[in-house]
Amino acid sequence: MRVAFRVDASLVIGTGHVMRCLTLARMLEAHGARCHFICADLPGNLGQFLCQNGVSLTLLPAPRGDAAAPLDYSSWSGLTWADDAEATARELQKQPADWLVVDHYGLDAQWEAAVLRATGAKCLIIDDLANRPHLGRWLLDPGPQRTSADYKQFVPSDCDLLLGPRYALLRPEFSELRDRVLPTRKKRSLRHVLVTMGGVDLPNASSAILSCLDRLTLPEGFHVTLVLGGTAPHLENLRARAEELSFPCDIKVDVRDLHHLMAKADLAIGAAGGTAWERCVLGLPSLMLSTAENQIPAARALEQAGAAVSLGFLADGDGWVDTLAESLQRVRNPRVLAELARNSSSLCDGKGAIRVEKRMRAALETS
C-alpha cells in the first residue's frame, strides 16, 4: 500500500497536523505501507524533523510565505488552491499513491476534485471543523462532539465517517503505557505540572502560565516541565525566564518521550488540541486553554464530561490567567485530581491509529 500525505506545519499552523499524520504513517508502515509526505515550504515547517526521522518528503514552494492570520485558512499553504492542487498532482504522478490523506483546513472539495481526477487515489480527509465541502469517501474527525449530522451537507452520501476520540491518531506508546499509569492516578497530589501549549506556542501562553504559577503559594517539592518544539519563536526567552522562577522548571525541546512525561506528571496545563487526547489516554488531569477557535467545542465537551477544566479562549483576553490561578487552587485537592483522572481516562483508549489503519487496508482489499 502506497500512501501520500498532504499536510503542513508552520509558525501559524503549528505542528499538530503533521504530527498526527506522522502517527498514522508509522502505523501504516508497521503493516508494510510506503508513505510519502507533501508539505509546503513555510517558515516553521517540519521538513528537517521529518527527514531526520526517515520520512520521504517533498517540499512545495510557498511564494506567498506565511503571512496569513491563523483563521485565514485559505492562505495557509502559501499557494492558491489551484496551484497547490497542480503541484500536489504533479508529485503524485511521480510517486503514485493508493491512498491520499489530506489534513489541511485550507483545502476543500475543489482541490480534492482536481487532485483525485489526476491521480485516482482513494482519499481520507482529516478534519476538525465541519465547515466546508469534501469529495473524499472517508473522513476522520476525532472531536468528542461530532455527529454525522455535522457533515451531512459537506460530504457525499456514501462517505465513511470516522468520528470521535476512538479514532484520534495517537502514538501507540500512550495506549501501551495506559494500564500501568491509570492505577497510580488514585493517590496523586499536586507536585509535578506539565505545560504543553503546542510545538510553536506563537502567542507565548507558556510565559503567562509560568508567571501565574510564580505568583502562587505552591506546595513543597513543586516543579514544572515545559515542552516545546525546536521551531518555537519564544524558546530562548522562556529558557531565560525559567532561571528566574521560584520553582524548578525543566524545558524540553522536540521530545520523543512525551508519554513518559505525562505518566510522571500530576497535572497538565495545555492547549485543547490533539494532545488533549494523549492526556486522556493516560488519565492526566488537565487545565486546558483553547488557543484556536476550533478547539473551543472540544474543550467545552471535555469540561462537561468532568474530564478537564477549561480556562477559556486565549484570544478573549487575559481573564484566563485568573481562571488558571483559581483552578490551580482547586486541583490541590487530591480528590479533585483523582476525579479528573478517572473521567478523562474513560474518553479515549489511544487505539485510533490502529483502527484507521485497519479500515484503510480493508478498503483496498475489497475494492
Closest CA to 131 of 106, 100, 157: 106
Residue with cell 476520540: 165
CATH of 2-170+350-365, one of 3.10.350.10, 2.30.30.240, 3.80.30.20, 3.40.50.11190: 3.40.50.11190
pLDDT tens for each residue of 175-204 = 999 999 999 999 899 999 999 999 999 999
Closest CA to 292 of 14, 6, 65, 102: 14
- Mean pLDDT, the chain, rounded, equals 93
3-state secondary structure of 345: helix
All three cell numbers of 213, joined, read 504559577
- State the average pLDDT over residues 103-114: 96
The domains of the chain are located at: 2-170+350-365, 173-345
Residue 43 contacts residue 78 (beta carbons within 8 Å): no
Q: How far apart are CA 202 and CA 198, in angstroms?
A: 9
What 296-305 contacts at long range (C-beta under 8 Å, 24+ apart), as own/partner pairs, is 296/272, 297/143, 297/145, 298/143, 298/144, 298/145, 298/272, 299/272, 300/145, 301/143, 301/144, 301/145, 302/144, 302/272, 302/276, 302/344, 302/347, 305/144, 305/343, 305/344, 305/347
Partner residues linked to 101 by β-bridges:
5, 124
Q: Could you give the strand order of the β-sheet that contains 223-228, starting from the edge strand earlier in sequence?
A: 249-253, 223-228, 192-196, 267-271, 286-290, 309-313
3-state secondary structure of 103: strand
173-345: CATH number: 3.40.50.2000
Examine domains 2-170+350-365 and 173-345 and report if their fold is the same: yes
pLDDT tens for each residue of 314-345 = 989 999 999 999 999 999 999 999 999 999 99
Strands (E), the chain: 2-7, 34-40, 56-60, 99-103, 122-126, 138-141, 160-163, 192-196, 223-228, 249-253, 267-271, 286-290, 309-313
Residue 314 contacts residue 205 (beta carbons within 8 Å): yes
> Using alpha carbons only, what angle is made at residue 17 by residues 116 and 258, rounded to the nearest 5 degrees?
145
On the question of pLDDT at 35 being above 70, the answer is yes
Percent of the chain with pLDDT over 70: 98
For residues 283 and 79, the model is more confident at 283
Residue 230 contacts residue 197 (beta carbons within 8 Å): no
pLDDT tens for each residue of 239-298 = 999 999 999 999 999 999 999 999 999 999 999 988 999 999 999 999 999 998 888 988
On the question of pLDDT at 66 being above 80, the answer is no
